[in-house]
Amino acid sequence: MQRLSFCLLTLAVLTLASCGCRDSVKPQPESARDAQPESTGDASPESPADEEESEHVGSKHELAIQLRDEFDRDNNPPADFEKRWTKLYDGQATTENGQWLMEVRRPAPPGPGEVVMGGFATTQRHFNPRLAGTNGVEITIVEFSHEDYDAEMDKTGQLVQAWSLTVGSWHGLVGGQKDKEKDRGVQLHFDYLRGEGLYVYLVRGLLPEDFDKYPQDGFGRKESKDLSGPELRVLHEEAIKRGGTYITVPCLALATRVYRSQQEIQDKLGRSHRYGLYLKDDANTVYWTLDGQVMDEVDISGYFNSSLDSVRDGAFLSIIGVACFQRNSWTMDDLEIRVSH
C-alpha cells in the first residue's frame, strides 16, 4: 500500500463505499485563509499572520479546560485510561514516564511491509453541545519510533507513518462515518511518504453536493479505477499544486501543506511538536495550530449546522496512527480539550 494518502488509506483499510449518494443538504462555501499549499526547502512554510496568531493565543487563555490527560500513571494501561479511551482498530496503549505510548503492531518480518492502523477515541463525547462557541484540542507528539531493519528495504513512495486528530460525531477517521448523510467531522492529519515529502492536511467529511462544487483528484473516481498508484499520486500532486479546496475521497481537503526537503521533514518529525485542532464561530470556522501558531484557517459555514443533531451532545475525539513497520510507536503527552464558556 505505497503512495497512498491518509484519506485513501482510510478508504482501503475500512473498505468504505464511495460517498456518491445524493441528498438535499444545503451547500456551503469553503474558503481557505492564509493557506499555503506548497513549501520548499528555500522558504519557510510557517508564516501565519501575527494578528491571527495573537488572536488565537488570547482566545485560548479564555477557554476552559474540559479534559486534561497528562498520562502520569505508569501502567499497561491504567484503569482510568481504559475508562476514558476506547480502542480503535489495532491500537495498543501504555503509559510510561508521564507519557502515552500508542502502538500498532503486525507479525514479523521487521521493516517496511503491510500497512497497519490503530488508535483510540474518547469514550464519552466532549466539547460544547452543538459545538457552540469555540472548541479545541491540543496534544504534543514527542516522537515516532519503530524497530531496526535493513535500510535496503526502503523504497521511494513508502508510507513511513501517518497520524491524525479527528473531532466528529463518530469514533474514527473521516471516511468511517456510520451515516454519510448525517455525521459530521473535521480532521488534521499528516502523511510522510519516503522520498516524496511530508503532507499535512486539514479536511472535513464529504457531502454529496461537494462533487458538483469542487475539483477532484484521481482517488475514488470511476474513470481512475485502472490507474496505478504512481499515476494516482500524480493526479493528487496536481490537485495540491492548483491550491484551494479539492476532493480526495473520502475527504474534502480544505488546506494542504507539503514539506519536501529533508531539513523541513526532520524539523517537523525529528523533535517534539504540539498540534492543535480548533472549531470556532459555532463550528463555522476550522483551523489548526503548530506550537501555538495558526497554520491554516478555513470557513466551513453551514457544514455542521446542516446536521446539528449529530453533535447535539458534543463530539468525540479520535487519535489514530498508520505505519508500515512491525512495531510502530507514537509517544504523546499533555492532551487538553478546551471549550468556551
Q: CB-based burial of residue 128 (10 Å sphere; 0-12 exposed, 13-18 middle, 19+ buried)?
A: buried
Q: What is the CA 122 to chain-centroid distance, rounded?
A: 16
Confidence of residue 56 (pLDDT cuts 50, 70, 90): confident
Q: Is the pLDDT of residue 25 over 60?
A: no
Per-residue burial over 182-219, b = 16 or more CB atoms within 10 Å of its CB, e = otherwise: ebbbbbbbbbbbbebbbbbbbbbbbbbebbeebebbbb
Residue 335 has pLDDT above 50, yes or no: yes
Least confident of 31-35, 106-110, 309-313: 31-35
Task: Tell me the CA distances in angstroms from 43 to 36, 37, 259, 294, one per residue in order.
Answer: 12, 13, 10, 18
Q: Mean pLDDT throughout 105-134?
A: 97
Q: Given a cut of 70, is residue 1 above it in pLDDT?
A: no
User: Which amino acid is it at 165?
Assistant: L
- pLDDT tens-digit map of 260-286: 999 999 999 999 999 999 999 999 999
- Categorise residue 20: left if φ over 0, alpha if ψ from -120 to 50, beta otherwise: alpha
51 has pLDDT over 50: yes
d(CA 183, CA 318): 14
Task: Break the chain into its structural domains and give their ranges.
Answer: 6-14+32-339
Q: pLDDT-derived band of residue 42, with 50, 70 and 90 as boundaries?
A: very low
Fold of 6-14+32-339: Jelly Rolls (2.60.120)
pTM for the full predicted model: 0.87
CB-based contact 338:64 (threshold 8 Å)? yes
What mean pLDDT is predicted for residues 165-174? 98
**Residue 15: what pLDDT?**
31
Q: Would you state the pLDDT for residue 71?
A: 86
Query: Would you say residue 58 has pLDDT above 60?
Result: yes
d(CA 295, CA 276): 10
For residue 93, the model assigns a pLDDT of 94
